Copies of this chain bind each other. A is one copy, B any other.
């Protein structure tokens, strides 16, 4: 590695050519070409950014402190996916998948020749198997809602799952098109609104693929993954956006963990009936505003004159963050396209934003499954009323007078 520090790269330096151009959406992996984010062979890079998202900052610490050899290349022996996914027709339909690499799990197979020749191609998706056990599922067995079958669900509450971790891979022209904006405007905002991250976003218009340093997603599959993509396969799904305070600690200000646990019940039932259940867990803490903003908003809600109530629920987030939500469900349907899913039979979500994004991408939602009322914590009624009033899927929309009532606990209660 030379002593010279290159602040950014520019086109016409020949740098993208050694690994080849990326032909996003091409008819095969080879025609698309490998995505190379190598730091050890800079001349082969054909993407902006690098693997493992923001964990690259920790890798930098490891290199700087002498713990990691900067030339390290992963030994991928035995790491291949435990289940086959695709190729599905959606992988090559223009504009269907623009925020993940459909070949990201099988690079060792499809680019075996290039890797053997020394090219540093790395997986952006990994697929493994696990047993999970959540106390809520044991309760569901005790209550008779779930019945152990000794295969998918054991008597002790253990559930067999296949699971996949997916790092985001953005095809910038596709992301721009999805939002109906110019690619140049997208690139410039990504550069400027991050405080100047990755000048290649604006200097390398020839590099069309960006590995953004944001959290990815985790998929939990219940039942036989390889049935996905077949028209006869019934699918149940919970699409869940991270909420650490509820998902892990059981905070009662929202319905996140209760709805997740309910969604998993729905998924297990579907798998037991021969279909496939799927939980998609997106790393988008606090509506992708982050937890600091979320806690600031909690304080503003609980302290406002008139108390914590539905009518001002979204306004308090807007005051602090400038928007109600930054999750941008527009990119979310990509994972269903990747899995070959064109119809979701039971959709454990009431969000109109999630539903709208699926429908806009041509994915049929047959039945929407609301969270059962008895699972809604008392302090979460503010959120639930506000969302129902704003278009959440529900049989009962609260009256206007209802929205003015302070249903949330005060800070010191």
Which residues of A are in contact with B by a Cβ distance under 8 Å? 5-9, 37, 39, 45, 48-70, 72, 74-82, 123-136, 139, 158, 161, 163-167, 179-181, 185-186, 188-200, 202-203, 211-216, 218, 220, 244-245, 247-253, 257, 260, 281, 284-285, 288-300, 302-304, 319-323, 326-328, 377, 379, 409, 411-412
Contact = CB atoms under 8 A, between A and B. Distances in A.
A163 B302 CA distance: 15
Given A54-B54, A57-B213, A323-B68, A158 B80 contact: no
B128 A74 contact: no
Given A196-B198, A290-B55, A295-B126, A218 B244 contact: yes
A194 B188 CA distance: 19
Contacts of A123: 292, 296
Contact of A281 (B126, B244, B320): B244
Contact of A291 (B131, B218, B300, B326): B218
Given A64-B185, A411-B82, A7 B7 contact: yes
Given A59-B326, A123-B296, A134 B319 contact: no
Contacts of A125: 292
A311 to B, nearest CB: 16
24 contacts: A7-B196, A7-B199, A52-B293, A58-B214, A59-B194, A61-B179, A63-B193, A65-B181, A67-B323, A74-B296, A80-B299, A81-B299, A123-B296, A126-B295, A126-B299, A128-B295, A128-B299, A130-B249, A131-B252, A163-B295, A165-B294, A218-B245, A218-B291, A248-B248
Given A79-B300, A290-B167, A192 B39 contact: yes
Contacts of A69: 322
Given A52-B293, A166-B292, A78 B299 contact: yes
A49 B195 CA distance: 5
B8 A7 contact: yes
A216 to B, nearest CB: 7
A281 B248 contact: yes
How many chain copies? Answer: 2
Contacts of A79: 296-297, 299-300, 320
Contact of A74 (B45, B134, B193, B321): B321
B195 A322 contact: no
A248 B108 CA distance: 30
The 8 A-B residue pairs whose C-beta atoms are closest, nearest first, are A135-B135, A72-B322, A50-B195, A126-B295, A64-B189, A60-B193, A165-B291, A79-B296
A198 to B, nearest CB: 6
A257 B289 CA distance: 25
Contacts of A54: 53-54, 212-215
Nearest to A331: B61
Contact of A250 (B50, B133, B289, B328): B133
A165 B295 contact: yes
A45 B195 CA distance: 10
A315 to B, nearest CB: 10
A406 to B, nearest CB: 14
Given A8-B196, A132-B252, A214-B54, A167 B292 contact: yes
A211 B7 CA distance: 19
Contacts of A218: 244-245, 291
A12 to B, nearest CB: 17
A293 B377 CA distance: 36
Contacts of A196: 6-9, 198-200
B5 A179 contact: no
Contacts of A129: 302, 411-412
Given A69-B322, A76-B320, A290 B53 contact: yes
B56 A203 contact: no
B58 A288 contact: yes
A375 B115 CA distance: 43
